[in-house]
Structure formats: C-alpha cells, structure tokens
Amino acid sequence: MSEDIFILKAGRLTLQDLQDFWRRPRRIALDPACYDALERSARTVAAVVAEGRRVYGINTGFGSLARQTISADQVAELQTRLVLSHSCGVGAPLDDRVVRLILLLKINALSRGHSGIRGEVIDRLVQLLNEELYPVVPSKGSVGASGDLAPLAHLSAVLLGHGEINHRGQRRPAAAVLEEHGIAPIQLAAKEGLALLNGTQVSTALALHGLFAAGDCFAAAITAGALCVDAALGSDTPFDARIHDLRGHPGQIDVAAWLRGLLAGSGIRQSHLDCDRVQDPYSLRCQPQVMGAIADVFRTAAGTLVREANAVSDNPLVFPGNGAEKAEVLSGGNFHAEPVAFAADMIAMALCEIGALSERRMAMLTDANMSALPPFLVAEPGLNSGFMIAHVTAAALAAENKLLSHPASVDSLPTSANQEDHVSMATHGARRLTDIAANTAYIVAIELLAAAQGVDLRRPLETSPRLQRAMTAIRERAAFLDNDRLLAGDIEALAELVQSGWFSAEFLTLDWLGKDL
C-alpha cells in the first residue's frame, strides 16, 4: 500500500493527524481489524429487528416521536426519511477543510463498532474523503445537542444521491458526481441513518478548525511580540526563566523561553543594556503571563477535542456482547456536545486575548511618547499619517472579537417538543471561531507591519538572527513605509502569511500545543 495512504485505526487519531488532514487532503484506508467489530455490531441490530424488540432509533420514531413503533418492513425506509427530513441546514457551506475533518471524524467514530452500521457504508464515506468529493454542508442549523443533526444529514444525503458535492471547487448535484466516479447511491439498513446523523463531528471539526487557525495566530503573535520588544527598545529581563519558574505555569514558562530564544543575539537589545528605563509597558513585559495562559487554555481545549474526535457520540450505542456477555443496545446521551461547547468558548476567549494584546503593542509603537519612535512610525508626521489608521483597523477588529467571544455554552433553547430540553449550542460556538481567528490574523498582521517598521527605524542596529528571518518574510511582502501609500494590500499579504502556518512551522511546532495528544 502506498506510503501516502494513512491507515486509520479506529479511535486512535492524534492531534498531529488531525492537523495534517486539516492542512491538506490525504488518502486513508480503514484498518482491516475494524471490520470484525463492524460486522458484529450490524448483526446485533439485525437481530433486534428480526426479534421485534422495541429499541429507540431502530424500530421507533425519533426525538419526541420515540413512542411510535415502526414495523420491520419499514425500518429501512425510516432511515432514508430520517436523512431527508433532517436536511434543513441553511447558510453558507462549510469550508472544505472542515468537511474533510467531519468525514474523517465520522469514519473514525463509526469504525469503532458501536453504531450498528455496516462496513460498506463506511467504505462509501472513505471514498468521498479519498476522492475529495466533499458534501455541500450548510453551516447553520445545529444546536449541538442530539448530535449535529441538520449538517450531518446534508453530509449523509450525498450517500443516497441527494444534495450537492463540491469537487475541487466545482459544486454540482450529488447524483451526477457519484455516477461519474462509479459510486452507486446506497440503501440504508436499520439504524444506519441515525448513526450517520447522530454525533458531534460537525461541532468538533469546527472547533478543531478554530483551534488550528488560533495556533497559527498564536505563533505569529509570539514573533510579533518579540519584534515589538526590539522596536520599542524593550528589555528581555522580564523573560528570565527564574521569574517564571517561581509561578510554575507551563505555558508561561514556555512563552518566556520562546521569547528569550527569539531575542537571543539582538544587536538592538545589546545597544541599550544600561539604559535608564526601569520597566516596560505590560503589553511587552507581561507577554509570558498572558500568552502563556493562552497556551495553557489551548492545550486544555486540544485535549478535550482530541478525546471527542476519537469518541463514539451517536445514540443508541450497540454492545454486541462477547461469549457469556449479553448483546445490548443502550440509549444514552453521548451526542450532547457540552465538552465541545466549553472547549470552543475557551478558544474564543483566548483568541480574543491574542488580538487584544497585539492591538495594545501596536498602539504602543505608534505612540512616540511610549516607543521613542517617530509618531505613527513614519517620517514627516502630519504630512504623513503612517500607521495611524492601520491601528484603528486593529482596534476595530479587537472590539469585534470581544463581541464574538461571548460564551455560547451558557445558552440553551429546548427543541423537539421539549424532549431535547437542554442543548449545548456547541456548533455555532465553534463556528464563530473562524471569524475570530480571521480578525486576529489581521490584527497580528498589522502589528507585524508596525513592528518591522520600528525595527527598521532602529538601523543600523539589527535585531536577532531568528527575528531577521521574520523580517525577511515580512519585507518580501511589504516594503518599508517611506511615505503614505495604500496599506490594505500589505495587510492582506501579511494576514495570508499568518494563516499559512509559516510562523508555526518556522518558530514553533505543534509540540507546544500538546505533543502527546
């Protein structure tokens, strides 16, 4: 088998695996060991139907209709109608990277053999993933409670030949695309529609999408913060390891070490070792405390999301039994996405703080009284406005992030005739991370432009060798600002660099987020 094919062992995805799939398409093959558990699980469901035992979701209605019994000759039709009736999503389609993660997570969860679904259905999902046939999934319509029902229904409808598929930028009817790829629409068996629709895979994929984007912002902001220290003739004394060891927070200790490493060998710092400045502003001095707390929050959220990515979160769950152990189908509530909702809220608040601290450093640099640089970082201030309005943009985005970061998990609106009377709101709580991360990428991009301008204004003094690499990357995309010009294009170019993961790859690795996850 080609080395490029990822062998999926059910329930064993790591954070690195998830980020790899998020960054680029990869082909997978299901570990052959999964198929025995899948077959036993499907046989258990078939036995329930044959024996006429009444089990939720197999031969009953759904939600508040669970008291309605469905005859054996209608259980397959029940599953098809379930998928079609639940395809009620609205809004812009989810990003391909998110849909790719949803497919991976759904395959991973179902393959653990507790969902009562046949291997051939999972094989169809694998085909979609491998051939980059991404179902068009509307972004809105889930409250993150009884699974991400509406979005997962749109994902599943494609298997039946309904809905649309996005294939490498072309959005077309699913039936036509499946036919072109030699994939026949599937006939669902008992419980299979419910297994496909139930689960937290959409909210989890959206939260992972936000986490990975946040990680790229974090790495860029650490770099920008170090550049700001040099641009403002700041001190590296606050990053001394002895200070942070006394407090003991892992993230704080790590961020201080990263800042020391980034600033090591700076000629700018060497030039003012004996200056009379006693202390720097908090936005410089307290970076380890703020960014370190953010790192710890991201690590906690990452742990939650990796566990959820490997979880079985549909309902009911099938336990085929083994030897003397009786086979059972148990109804519970693993579909409730409260862990994901809390993780998404944590990421949102931490992302907001990255932007807030970045905006404050940007404001400090443009203030000549604080930075000892020309007003608004430009020659002939007055004739030139320099970075004045770039800072206003950063402030506007930081303010918007504060609104977006309000916790979603504290809300609940009952659904399904009060059967589903407490919901997590995880899905939109995770979805808004995309907007917060985009805003934060712009804020940090603006700071990078300002910090590079400040460092260049210190010439002939030079920053550290590592930060000179960052300066080169910035200057390849945005020239020094001699006189006022359009800055929007420079901001876009730097935001793209932030979002590309370049700073993550160059200055941090995924290990900072959780190498053991």
Q: Looking at the annotation, which residues are catalytic?
A: 56
Report the C-alpha gap between 321 and 303 in whole angstroms: 30
Alpha-carbon radius of gyration of the chain: 26
Torsion 296-299-304-307 (CA) sign: negative
Identify the three-state secondary structure at position 187. coil
Contact 228, 35 (CB under 8 A): no
**What single string gives the DSSP state of each residue in 423-461?**
---HHHHHHHHHHHHHHHHHHHHHHHHHHHHHHHHTTTS
Nearest C-alpha neighbor of 408 from the set 166, 180, 202, 144: 144
Nearest C-alpha neighbor of 63 from the set 198, 168, 250: 198
In what helix (H) or strand (E) does residue 202 lie, and over which residues does it extend? helix 201-231
Give the count of beta carbons closer than 10 Å to the beta carbon of residue 138: 19
Report the C-alpha gap between 150 and 162 in whole angstroms: 14
Tokens of 422: 């407490």
Tokens of 222: 């650490």
In three-state form (DSSP H/G/I as H, E/B as E, the rest C), the secondary structure along 144-171 is CECECHHHHHHHHHHHHCCCEEEECCEE
Phi, psi of 171 (to 5 degrees): -105, 120
State the virtual CA torsion across 285, 268, 355, 426 in degrees, nearest 10.
-80
Report the C-alpha gap between 377 and 365 in whole angstroms: 7
Residue with tokens 């930028």: 169
Angstrom CA distances, 413 to 144, 176, 416, 420, stand at 11, 38, 10, 9
Tokens of 283: 């936005």
Give the count of beta carbons closer than 10 Å to the beta carbon of residue 127: 15
Give the count of beta carbons closer than 10 Å to the beta carbon of residue 208: 33
Q: Residue 418: CB partners within 8 Å, gap ≥ 6?
A: 64
Contact 407, 394 (CB under 8 A): no
